[in-house]
Amino acid sequence: MKLYVVGFGAGSHGGITFDAEKAILSSDIIVGYTAYTEILEKIYPEKIYYSTAMKQEKERVSYAIHRTCENKIVSIVCSGDSGVYGMACLALEMSCGLDIEIEIVPGITAALSGAALLGAPLTHDFAVISLSDLLTPIEKIIKRIECASMADFSIVLYNPSSKKRADYLKNACSIMLKYKSPDTVCGIVRNIGREGTERKILSLNELKDFQADMFTTVFIGNSETKIINDRMVTPRGYKNV
């Protein structure tokens, strides 16, 4: 009995690792959030899929474990990396005590694929923070933003905005502006690896009023981040450069 938890990257076939593709192709059933299975159905139309809506993560994992226990090979798929805001943790928690083999297959998370489109914004220490408060109290999110800003980390923001959280990015920028210059170099990437990919470099002050969505990944530089040939670059500190 084998259960894969697969990160398939941003969504393009080119961003799927060989190991991820091998797991998907060897599986009898592919389980995932509907938006993700729809992406994979275009690449692997011959596979059998089971999907559920957002906020039904436990139902997906329960189904995947149940089918695995029926001696099926199953892949739970996640965009980006399966262990970065993905399903790897939940799959391991819910399978505790069961005699099934679980293999975590990593993928390219949006912090990395988005950074490549912007240039090299994460060459030095950085923090990744999700602005979604579905599973994390907003007070803790605010504290993490404050601490990362105070420590002069470059920061990547996942889930920056939604219909119910329209002002979260603006509020996060207001917190960061207490510790970072308004001219801090920032960047946004939308629809990474998919049709309509968009990238933009702007200042922290401009980012405060940017209208992001759930398909946007936001990058905030540190005090050394600069623009080189229209690319966002955070120097590591090499001498004589």
| Residues 161-177: tens digit of each pLDDT | 988 898 999 999 999 99
- How does pLDDT run across 187-222, given as a tens digit for each residue? 999 999 888 899 999 999 999 999 999 899 999 999
Task: Determine what percent of the chain is predicted with pLDDT higher than 70.
Answer: 100
**Strands of 185-190's sheet, edge to edge?**
126-130, 154-158, 216-220, 185-190, 198-203
pLDDT, tens only, 39-79: 999 999 999 999 999 889 999 999 999 999 999 999 999 99
Cα atoms found within 13 Å of the Cα of residue 54, Cβ hemisphere only: 3
Q: Which two tokens stand for residue 62?
A: 């329960």
Rounded Cα–Cα distance for residues 220 and 156 (Å): 6
Would you state the CATH architecture of domain 117-233? Answer: 2-Layer Sandwich (3.30)
- pLDDT for position 193: 87
The top-level CATH class assigned to 2-108 is: alpha beta
Note the pLDDT tens digit of each residue in 17-45. 999 999 999 999 999 999 999 999 999 99
CB 111 within 8 A of CB 122: yes
pTM: 0.94
Domain ranges of the chain: 2-108, 117-233
Sheet bearing 231-233, strands edge to edge: 119-120, 231-233, 226-228
1 pLDDT band, cuts 50/70/90, is: confident
